[in-house]
Homo-oligomer: A and B are copies of this chain.
């Protein structure tokens, strides 16, 4: 006997009837607003090529480390899930992998992955029975069939999902060809990129030398000299802007910034490219580069996003066998107040600069981030991020930032995902959680209902567009 799959229309709303009624009314006003997705990791080739996806496993399971990290944590081998190793996809049949996933679907109870997937299953694929071992094949077959239909190609779904804007992320050393092809194709979908230069800034990244060589090639600059290196950044930022980018993104281990003199910076850079750097040099260089990027943002108007605090590739054995981004990035405590000061000494007073701060350390929300954003004109708070991109995480974000930073120093929602099919689900969860929070404020007479309606629209649309300069 299978279980029904039903998305309750009031899901994620408070059960208190007063709050629920308000949340419902607020949500009704914004549920159908188009999706603005200014930060994510979808593959631009999908939209450039518009080729069909093939099967449930390669579409939903293989690229989603949220899913397989949980299965891995419960002892399921990644090979059994057909997760690619450095040397290629294991021999496991994709249907068999899907079955393993389906049999373990109960592990996701209480997690956002479950909310997102059920939404995808019900709304995108039209399932009315729940995923479990008994329905694994039904799911695998149905998804495979649907994906072969024209309506399930990337561009068709982009329209069906009512996506108004979608940013991908490319490295400073990556090709922008897919984006150029999208633009050249005449397809009206607004897909653009984001400038993420970590690969040519983080000398501790294993691919730094290659990335730097490619950076030189793409820009024609002498990237091994400090002036040429900065010029190469300026050139690539312009390239990115030429295909529509409005923002940069910086995923550093810490939020440390620096304010070195030109001579000090040049000497540091010489050690970095000369291979004579210490770990302290590597950190200082990343720190200095945040300030350099902020300076360039003052020049060219690009919005700057800072995402610190992830200890990457924590599981050394897994990194050896499977490479990066395999669900083994673990957050660490992150300091902002002292770390950001050197950069803010340089650009803190700029009124035309926007720096969006993210965190994986919720203890910094009320203590550091909200007070910083509630003072400096250039600072805004990015939404609850990564592990905190969940109903409870989003609720804590609002509870811990609103009273000091207000709503207007926040920037709406980021889906931050490579899971294209889940984008509507993720935005829907964010909208519902925001409406639930606003409903509580109204129900406790801390906000008028008309103000909450105005804010619901701002959080969904206005703040995002203004923050990202869309």
Q: Taking the complex as formed, is A315 at the interface, i.e. its CB lies under 8 A from any CB of chain B?
A: yes
Q: Is the CB of B12 within 8 A of A444?
A: yes
Residues in chain B near residue A408, CB distance under 8 A: 74, 106-107
Q: How far is the CA of A370 from the CA of B341 in the complex (A)?
A: 31
Q: Taking the complex as formed, is A59 at the interface, i.e. its CB lies under 8 A from any CB of chain B?
A: no
Of A178-186, A387-395, A418-426, the one with at least 4 CB within 8 A of chain B:
A387-395
Q: Take A361-B367, A408-B107 as given contacts and tell me if A338 and B345 are in contact as well, using a CB distance cutoff of 8 Å.
A: no
Residues in chain B near residue A444, CB distance under 8 A: 11-15, 391
Q: Taking the complex as formed, is A415 at the interface, i.e. its CB lies under 8 A from any CB of chain B?
A: no
Q: Taking the complex as formed, is A360 at the interface, i.e. its CB lies under 8 A from any CB of chain B?
A: yes
- Which listed residue, B18, B112, B375, B388, touches A315 by the CB 8 Å rule? B375
Q: How far is the CA of A107 from the CA of B110 in the complex (A)?
A: 34
- Which listed residue, B331, B368, B405, touches A368 by the CB 8 Å rule? B331
Q: How far is the CA of A377 from the CA of B317 in the complex (A)?
A: 13
Give A54-105 interface residues, CB cut-off 8 Å to B: 69-70, 72-75
How many Å from the CB of A310 to the closest CB on chain B?
A: 9
Q: How far is the CA of A396 from the CA of B400 in the complex (A)?
A: 10
Residues in chain B near residue A393, CB distance under 8 A: 366, 403
A335-367 Cβ-contact flags toward B at 8 Å (1 or 0): 101100100110011010000000011110011
- Which listed residue, B11, B370, B377, touches A445 by the CB 8 Å rule? B11
Q: Taking the complex as formed, is A372 at the interface, i.e. its CB lies under 8 A from any CB of chain B?
A: yes
- Which listed residue, B328, B337, B388, touches A375 by the CB 8 Å rule? B328
Q: How far is the CA of A3 from the CA of B370 in the complex (A)?
A: 29
Most buried by B among A331, A362, A402: A331
Q: Is the CB of A409 within 8 A of B366?
A: no
Residues in chain B near residue A318, CB distance under 8 A: 349
Q: How far is the CA of A344 from the CA of B441 in the complex (A)?
A: 42
Q: Is the CB of A70 within 8 A of B403?
A: no
Most buried by B among A14, A15, A368, A448: A15
Residues in chain B near residue A455, CB distance under 8 A: 109-110
Q: Is the CB of B338 within 8 A of A311?
A: yes
Q: How far is the CA of A12 from the CA of B447 in the complex (A)?
A: 10
- Which listed residue, B107, B327, B362, B371, touches A366 by the CB 8 Å rule? B362
The 7 closest A-B pairs by CB, nearest first: A8-B445, A15-B443, A11-B445, A390-B403, A15-B18, A110-B402, A363-B363
